[in-house]
Structure 1
Amino acid sequence: MAIDVGGTRTRVAAEDGTVVRFPTEPDYDRQLALLRDAVQGRPEAVGVSFGGRVTEDGDVRVSLHLRAYEGRPLGRDLAAALGCPVRVAHDATCGLLGEHALGTLRGEDRCGYLTLSTGVGAAVRLGRGEHFVALTTEAGHQLVEGNDRRCGCGQTGCLETLLGGAQLRRRLGRGLEDVDDPRFWQVYAQRVAAGIANFALTAGLEAVAVGGAIAARRAELWPPLRQALADRLTYQAVRVHQAATEDAPLVGARVLAGTPPTSILH
Structure 2
Amino acid sequence: MHYPTRHAMPTLEDRIVAFLAHSPATRSQLCEALGTSRTNLGRALATLLDEGFVLPVRSNASGRGRPTQLLTLNASAAHSVGLLVTRTSCAGVMLSRSGTVLAAAHIVSPTSPSLVGCLEQTCEALAASAASQGIDVSGVRAVGVGVPIPMGRHARVASDAYPSVEELAELTRRWWDPLPVVDNTVRMAALAEGLWGAGSGMSSFIYLRLSGGVGGCVVSDFRLVGGATGLAGELGHITVAGNDALCGCGKRGCVETLASVPALCERAGVRDVTALRAAVHAEDERALAALEGAARAIGYVLGSAALLINPKAIILAGEIVDAFPSLRESIAAHMGAELLPVMEWDIDVVTASLGPLGAAQGCAYIAAHPPAEEEPDRERASHRGGATASPWVEVCGEGGCP
Normalising to structure 2: TM-score of the pair? 0.57
CA distance 1:23–1:85, shift in 2 (3 Å): same
Aligned length: 259
Aligned partner of 2:117 among 9, 14, 30: 30
Please tell me the residue identity of whatever aligns with 2:113: P
SS in 2 for 1:186: helix
Superposition RMSD in Å: 3.0
Match of 1:8 in 2: 88
The answer for unaligned runs of 5 or more in structure 2 is 1-80, 95-100, 131-136, 227-231, 381-402
Report what 1:158 is aligned to.
254
User: Shift of the alpha carbon at 1:237?
Assistant: 4.1
Q: Highest CA radius of gyration, 1 or 2?
A: 2
Which secondary structure state, in structure 2, belongs to the residue aligned with residue 193 of structure 1? helix
The amino acid across from 1:50 in the alignment is: V
Which runs of 5 or more structure 1 residues have no equivalent in the other structure? none
Tell me the equivalent position of 2:333. 227
Question: Which residue pairs with 2:10 in the alignment?
Answer: none
Aligned residue among 220, 239, 243 for 1:147: 243
1:19 counterpart = 2:110: no
User: CA contact under 8 A between 2:312 and 2:347: conserved in structure 1?
Assistant: yes
More off after superposition, 27-36 vs 108-117: 27-36
Which residue does 1:46 correspond to in 2? Answer: 143
Match in the other structure for 1:95: 189
Q: For residues 222-249 of structure 1, what are the alpha-carbon distances to aligned partners after superposition, in whole Å with 9 as ceiling and x for unaligned?
A: 2322333333333544222111123353
User: In the TM superposition, what is the alpha-carbon distance from 1:90 to its structure 2 partner?
Assistant: 0.9
1:73 maps to which of 166, 169, 172: 166
The structural deviation recorded for 1:17 is 5.1
Give the structure-1-normalised TM-score: 0.83
Q: Deviations over 1:177-205 (max 9, x none)?
A: 32232533333322221122123323342
Q: Give the percent of matched residue pairs that are identical in Structure 1 and Structure 2.
A: 23
Instruction: Flag the 1:98–1:28 CA change in 2: closer, same or farther, 3 A.
Output: closer
Secondary structure class of the residue paired with 2:173: helix
Q: Supply the distance in 1 between the matched residues of 2:179 and 2:300 (Cα, whole angstroms).
A: 40
User: Aligned equivalents of 1:27 and 1:95: distance in 2?
Assistant: 21
Distance 2:233 2:157 in 1: 13
Distance 1:100 1:122 in 2: 14
* Paired residue type of 1:26: P
**1:32 Cα offset (Å):** 4.9
Amino acid at match of 2:351: Q
Aligned to 1:216: 322
Q: Cα gap change, 1:174/1:67 in structure 2, threshold over 3 Å: closer, same or farther? A: farther
Shift of residue 221 of structure 1? 1.3
Structure richer in strand, relative to its length:
1
